[in-house]
Amino acid sequence: MMDTLLIALVGLPARGKSTMGRKIARTFELDDLDVRVFNNGELRRTLSDENTSSPDFFSPANEAGLAFRDHCALINLQRAREFLNSSGKVAIIDATNVTKKRRKLIEEMFFDMPLLFIECVNTDEEALEANLERKGLLKEFCHLSVQEAVDGLTRRIGYYEKAYEPLDEERNRILVDSFEACILQEQITDLIPYYDRIRDIITTRIVRNLFLIRHGETFYNLEGRIGGDSGLTEKGQAQAEALARYFAPWRIPIIFTSKHKRTQQTASPISEKQEHSSIIVLPEFNEIDAGICEGMTYQDIKEKMPMVAQARARDKYGYVYPDGEGYACMEKRIHRGLKKVFYLNNLNDNIMIVGHQAVNRLILSYFVSRPKEEVPFIYMPQDRYYHIQVDPYKRIFELMPYINSPR
């Protein structure tokens, strides 16, 4: 049984364990391995006749709740064991597993086969807060307001924090920053099958479907002005409605936008045509700050600030507007925004970003190898969108029309 493997995830709630488990499982499926994820939370909700979303259910003082959660954990461990004893190659236990007692039980039940613990952490408070808000929209909390759900999740995490014992003695363990997608520590004592593949999976961004959309036409676009916070024209609103009709058959649970109203006005009709979809505003995706040139046309800049126009023409990527920014200094915040998107995204879901011309150019260049000097010239129309897929086997980039075009 040395070619079988049990992976036990470890970590506080909302730290990216489920996403990590799905990412590993999806890649192993592409590798033609028989893999299955055993999620304790899903089993708990299936077996319980009551709503177990209340934070008090997770209180250490709730003996009945503790006994039921232990019962669910044991069932999943037994199912994982049966799976690996038959045709299974990799079983993944998706649970907090934050106590040494629980991990000792796992080691005892799988004493005769390779076992790897993967602990997920995240110290980025903004990303954690956004993840809690996303979880507050889940069906489990449909009877609560988003804020009530977030408050309850925060209390639940507090209970887990009191019992939390990080990995430190386990023979085979990896500590992962799930926000940064990097390995912080690793200790491997035994021969772990597929280990090199697992390390590659942990550090690889996987995208099922990313729809990268530029906002619809604005009044500033008509006037040739840069920056600002202009709203959509009648044509821009029609483009947003066309996008909404086009993407209606897709499941898009989250749409990411900037703080500018033109992206939110474009995203709003799309979200309204989805069964359950929320708009998450990320300031990291704000359009390039043109500083003292905000609201001007390029012709205005050429006539009134010829030195600015000339310097920018020599190095469009590296140039920084006076009191503003440029492509080069935007890169860091754009990449941080993408990290938030990856962290908040369920790998089984599609991703949509409604952004700006310069922003979308930098996002696309994250996936496509283009020399930096070419990035400011990437074609970013308002009547088409980019479709991106990334997995360990392929990368797909398509520029697709959405108006008068079948899906």
Strand partners, 354: 213, 257
State how far the Cα of 152 lies from the Cα of 136, in Å rounded to an integer. Answer: 9
How far, in Å, are 76, 257, 340 from residue 265 at the CA level?
Answer: 45, 10, 22
Which residues, 6 or more positions from 130, have their beta carbon under 8 angstroms from its beta carbon? 280, 340, 343, 344
Active site residue 215: yes
Confidence bin at 404 (pLDDT 50/70/90) = low
Residue 290's pLDDT is: 95
Q: What type of residue sits at position 45?
A: R
Which residues, 6 or more positions from 291, have their beta carbon under 8 angstroms from its beta carbon? 321, 322, 323, 324, 325
Average pLDDT over residues 112-139: 88
Q: Is the pLDDT of residue 50 over 80?
A: no
Residue 406's pLDDT is: 47
Average pLDDT in the chain: 92
- Considering 286, 356, 360, 361, which one is annotated as catalytic? 356
Question: To which residue do tokens 């110290």 refer?
Answer: 123
Residue 369's pLDDT is: 82
pLDDT tens per residue across span 129-175: 888 887 877 777 778 888 888 888 899 999 999 999 999 999 999 99
Active site residue 345: no
Asked whether the beta carbons of 202 and 176 are under 8 A apart, the reply is yes
Q: What domains does the chain contain, in order, with CATH numbers?
A: 5-202 (3.40.50.300), 207-401 (3.40.50.1240)
State how far the Cα of 252 lies from the Cα of 209, in Å rounded to an integer. Answer: 10
Average pLDDT over residues 9-13: 96
State how far the Cα of 285 lies from the Cα of 83, in Å rounded to an integer. Answer: 44
Please tell me the pTM assigned to this model: 0.87
State how far the Cα of 372 lies from the Cα of 30, in Å rounded to an integer. Answer: 33
User: Which phi and psi angles does 131 have, rounded to 5°?
Assistant: -65, -40
Task: Provide the percentage of residues in the chain whose pLDDT is more than 70.
Answer: 98
Helix (H) or strand (E) holding 175: strand 172-177
Residue 407's pLDDT is: 47
Active site residue 221: yes
State how far the Cα of 58 lies from the Cα of 69, in Å rounded to an integer. Answer: 9
Q: Is the pLDDT of residue 330 over 80?
A: yes
Asked whether the beta carbons of 100 and 165 are under 8 A apart, the reply is yes
Q: Is the pLDDT of residue 1 over 70?
A: no
Q: Is the pLDDT of residue 90 over 80?
A: yes
How far, in Å, are 136, 169, 292 from residue 143 at the CA level?
Answer: 10, 41, 49
Q: Per 3-state DSSP, what percentage of the chain is helix, strand, and coil (rounded to 5)?
A: 45, 20, 35
Average pLDDT over residues 248-255: 93
Q: Is the pLDDT of residue 21 over 60?
A: yes
Active site residue 335: no
**Helix ranges, 122-145 (H):** 125-135
Q: Is the pLDDT of residue 221 over 90?
A: yes
Residue 63: Cβ-neighbour burial (10 angstroms; 0-12, 13-18, 19+): exposed
- Considering 26, 225, 262, 312, which one is annotated as catalytic? 262
Strand order in the sheet with 35-39: 35-39, 90-94, 5-10, 115-121, 172-177, 182-188
- Considering 69, 214, 260, 312, which one is annotated as catalytic? 214
- Considering 102, 215, 225, 361, which one is annotated as catalytic? 215
Nearest alpha carbon to residue 168 among 106, 243, 103? 103
**Joined tokens for residue 189:** 């004592």
Which stretch of 73-82, 139-148, 353-362 has the lowest confidence by average pLDDT? 139-148
Helix (H) or strand (E) holding 390: strand 384-391
Residue 392's pLDDT is: 79
- Considering 119, 170, 284, 287, which one is annotated as catalytic? 287
Active site residue 180: no
Average pLDDT over residues 335-347: 88
- Considering 122, 172, 221, 360, which one is annotated as catalytic? 221
Residue 391's pLDDT is: 82
pLDDT tens per residue across span 168-209: 999 999 999 999 999 999 999 999 999 999 999 999 888 889
State how far the Cα of 397 lies from the Cα of 63, in Å rounded to an integer. Answer: 52
Average pLDDT over residues 352-381: 94
The strand ranges marked E within 181-313 are 182-188, 207-214, 254-257, 278-281
Residue 144's pLDDT is: 80
**Joined tokens for residue 91:** 């079983």
Average pLDDT over residues 362-390: 93
Higher pLDDT, 278 or 176: 176
Q: Is the pLDDT of residue 363 over 70?
A: yes
What DSSP assignment string belongs to 199-233? HHHHTS--EEEEEEEE---BHHHHHTB-SS---B-
**Joined tokens for residue 358:** 């310069």
Average pLDDT over residues 109-138: 89
**Joined tokens for residue 122:** 């995240």
Residue 128's pLDDT is: 86
pLDDT tens per residue across span 313-324: 999 999 999 999
Q: Is the pLDDT of residue 99 over 50?
A: yes
